Structure 1
């Protein structure tokens, strides 16, 4: 990243104050020090499910608008060496939840388990692809789509080998007992515009035999890592982020086929890239977007990505101009064509700094780090909310003009926000009797925070 004269004064481009505000409502304390990561809400019952990958369990909470979050059940699912819970989802109407479980051997297929939300009873188990990392029920509950990240690596000779990423489509139309899984293989992305290519010289940080190593990767199926699943409102399309590949896969759910993959290109905007104890966005960030979570607008027209980042460029003395990893943005795309409409530029970090939660120690490496995102309509506006993992904060974003998304408000998710000790990850929205609630799992604190959007 090149240091340049200030592109703008700090906050000069910050949007005007908004009448909308995210207000902290309550905090659920799990009793564990960490691990509360993925959350999902069943609107019909106002129940929340939260996974704890460290403890191998899920908690079922009641979201009471007047009393906050209260645990009503705890289900321990994983025994020693039985694998790891990586994601959880609630059926939209039935007393069923689904969990992704990766095998303890990172190169073996994982599974999806369907269980009773009331007592945790195992109802159905299906083998899926390698290292399942995210899943979602369709709006009608008749399909589940799973992102199989294939992230595990092992040494092989002087190099490394990884399992191939894939996408599973689980058909529930004939009932849970007759559920069927169809595995969609990933294509080689060489030459696909806007995706990560060999010339980008990317490295991933991965743990191998207890050692953190930088692993080179390319465009083959072995190096494609599906990350997160979001459905279109009508349930006919599923969008899957390919984070490290800087792409989104579009799945035809009814046919159980890959419809297309489109690349997300790069961002250029003002950024702070120095860890010096102050926020000064006087450099230009040039980076691949590399989104984690995705959301679809309520009308289905727009696809929204949280551009967290994951890879780093392999810098060599003879090479220059390689993009960084992570756009530090929320980006908006046309859901049909994949065309980029706009992004938030430096606004997430600008507003985090204004709120006093900007993590300057992360300036050289992905900034506030947007991870989760949801989108919904409220109070006559099209909105998105993003979780900022390293800023320990939530960002409220106005999407009424998709080509110019505006960050309206950033708020810390708890005491000490900005130090990176809370880490909001999973994020879910639910509307109840005209009120809008946001639930986020705080992975590094063991807590779950509840917010309400108020006007």
Structure 2
């Protein structure tokens, strides 16, 4: 808080005694007694952080008042609140996001809209309809003339014109969900998982199916290539010469079968895929392997009887702008792997460390039982970053990695690391020893039992939770240069009130504070004019944040955009898809995947952001304009 005196002009009155114009001047009188000092008026200027209820984008509060106790400080009881003013920070960059397109499947809770892609020659939007084993094809040509939606909750102007039946086209037994789709030129790739027919639905090697696209809206199936277990994400290099696939290799429920995680590399020549994939594995990092010493204690390896290669679970991939490196999120392991694409080898595995919730900038609401917004700092409590989606860009010839720090746990019938902070046996000297017993403070927070007993004496010296409730920017060697701190919770608290940290299955309000908060998952970055923006989807609260990341060392919040009715009365069962109440006007729930489309590739001539919302089963398209 800064205090400075407010200068007040003093009016000095001179009394001139005049005698007769021709008389003698009289003698000066004696000086009077010294009068009391006047009461100074002071002003305080208080900086307001992003998320303040009066200035959601941050700014300053100016308080004035009289220094009645004359101590040179404007005390709280001296502030004239009727004169307080707010100078709010304007939206950075002047970027607006207008909803102009939307498709409703009317399938709720079953991942009917996940990962999205766009093909410019045909103006088609490809949407992963995961559980169906298909990719829906939407006609995006209407976007050329679509305006800002007058009723965004009910908008349904994108027509489904076709579907790619990936499971049928690949024609191999026990194929399951489609998990990802990517387009390069006129080549489309889709990742599909496979089970073993014995109740293990994702533990057998999956496939990548390829399709040839054309400007006349057709898609011809070319063939499929076997990759690793549970291909969860795939992406083409920017030059179209390689396709990389993150094979997550998750265990089955009783943990009796745990495939190795890996990355598949498929060469593309003259627009056609090679006949087989190169599998890049992690066996060198196993105990006894040549590179095991690179697995530090901050890389979480905790699966029962699992080797390092089995425990590492590649989740998402981004390719460096020069096509030399692939950055691979290892979500459960709280790390990022770097792949040398030319040599098909793992360069390094970077531990991401822990977010300190004891710092003021990292305050969290850790309870869903506190009946309100209660952002606090907790010394001795930490979060693993555990990014899901990541992206990359170059600034001043240096690669930077952007991560959406969702968090994830291993929670299976055969093994679970999940607990509540109140269940932990804490070291008696832990600063949150009392708060961890209080369900309105820390007791409800979901934490891992696999980390925190630093001295191995049977009690926990640190409380470690899942995810960081933020997005971060890192150098390619793993140095963090930016984290959004507690922005997401503070901004949604300011704008949504009691609806902050809401779940996406019902409107209950503050139901996710104990479990990863707003849960940032989807992520896209895009260049608009001279500025680069990051778009971060909040899976639970829904909607997306916009940040100006043009300079990774001077990041600015721009806006929070949400198309959700928090008053709608509904409950969605994400296991069965059953809906209680009316979810048709709930809006867009659970952003899972995002695609940025540049102005030159957009049918409207303006940049677009396409979002797949898995819980509402909707695909939404926003037009982005700078002002």
TM-score (norm 2): 0.63
Which of 534, 547, 560 pairs up with 1:384? 534
CA deviation digits over 1:359-380, x for unaligned, max 9?
Answer: 2110011010000111122242
Residue 77 of structure 1 pairs with residue 166 of structure 2:
yes
Which of 127, 144, 168 pairs up with 1:65? 144
Which of 263, 274, 289 pairs up with 2:367? 274
Assess if the C-alpha contact under 8 Å between 2:131 and 2:176 holds in 1. no
Shift of 1:114: 0.5
CA distance in 2, matches of 1:22, 1:403: 24
User: What SS does the corresponding residue of 1:352 show, helix, strand or coil?
Assistant: helix
Q: Greater strand share, 1 or 2?
A: 1
Which of 78, 90, 99 pairs up with 1:24? 99
CA deviation digits over 1:285-339, x for unaligned, max 9?
Answer: 620100000011265632100000002555641223131110111000113x222
Q: Greater helix share, 1 or 2?
A: 2
What corresponds to 1:3 in structure 2?
Answer: none
The aligned runs of 1:404-443 (5 Å cut-off) are 404-416=554-566, 422-433=589-600, 435-443=606-614
CA distance in 1, matches of 2:353, 2:612: 30
What corresponds to 1:305 in structure 2?
Answer: 403
User: What SS does the corresponding residue of 1:348 show, helix, strand or coil?
Assistant: helix
Residue 449 of structure 1 pairs with residue 611 of structure 2:
no
CA distance in 2, matches of 1:323, 1:217: 22
CA distance in 2, matches of 1:322, 1:217: 24
Inter-CA distance 417–178: structure 2 relative to 1 (3 Å threshold): farther
CA distance in 2, matches of 1:238, 1:179: 22
Assess if the C-alpha contact under 8 Å between 1:24 and 1:451 holds in 2. yes
CA distance in 2, matches of 1:75, 1:191: 42
What corresponds to 1:362 in structure 2?
Answer: 512
What corresponds to 2:34 in structure 1?
Answer: none
User: What SS does the corresponding residue of 1:283 show, helix, strand or coil?
Assistant: coil
Residue 352 of structure 1 pairs with residue 492 of structure 2:
yes
CA distance in 1, matches of 2:334, 2:300: 9
CA distance in 2, matches of 1:372, 1:440: 9
What corresponds to 2:195 in structure 1?
Answer: 104
CA distance in 2, matches of 1:346, 1:217: 37
What corresponds to 2:308 in structure 1?
Answer: 220
CA distance in 2, matches of 1:164, 1:430: 35
User: What SS does the corresponding residue of 2:332 show, helix, strand or coil?
Assistant: helix
User: What SS does the corresponding residue of 2:310 show, helix, strand or coil?
Assistant: helix
Deviates more, 1:171-180 or 1:425-434: 171-180
Residue 121 of structure 1 pairs with residue 121 of structure 2:
no
Assess if the C-alpha contact under 8 Å between 1:297 and 1:382 holds in 2. no
Shift of 1:162: 1.1
What corresponds to 2:470 in structure 1?
Answer: 329
User: What SS does the corresponding residue of 1:354 show, helix, strand or coil?
Assistant: helix
CA distance in 1, matches of 2:276, 2:321: 22
CA distance in 2, matches of 1:10, 1:239: 30
Residue 170 of structure 1 pairs with residue 266 of structure 2:
yes
Shift of 1:400: 3.3
TM-score (norm 1): 0.86
What corresponds to 1:181 in structure 2?
Answer: 277
Q: Which runs of 5+ in 1 are unaligned?
A: 1-7, 203-214
CA deviation digits over 1:261-302, x for unaligned, max 9?
Answer: 111111121111111342221133620100000011265632
Assess if the C-alpha contact under 8 Å between 1:43 and 1:430 holds in 2. no
Shift of 1:81: 3.7
Inter-CA distance 30–168: structure 2 relative to 1 (3 Å threshold): same
Shift of 1:21: 2.5
What corresponds to 1:338 in structure 2?
Answer: 478
What corresponds to 2:30 in structure 1?
Answer: none
CA distance in 2, matches of 1:243, 1:395: 21
Assess if the C-alpha contact under 8 Å between 2:387 and 2:407 holds in 1. yes
User: What SS does the corresponding residue of 1:254 show, helix, strand or coil?
Assistant: coil
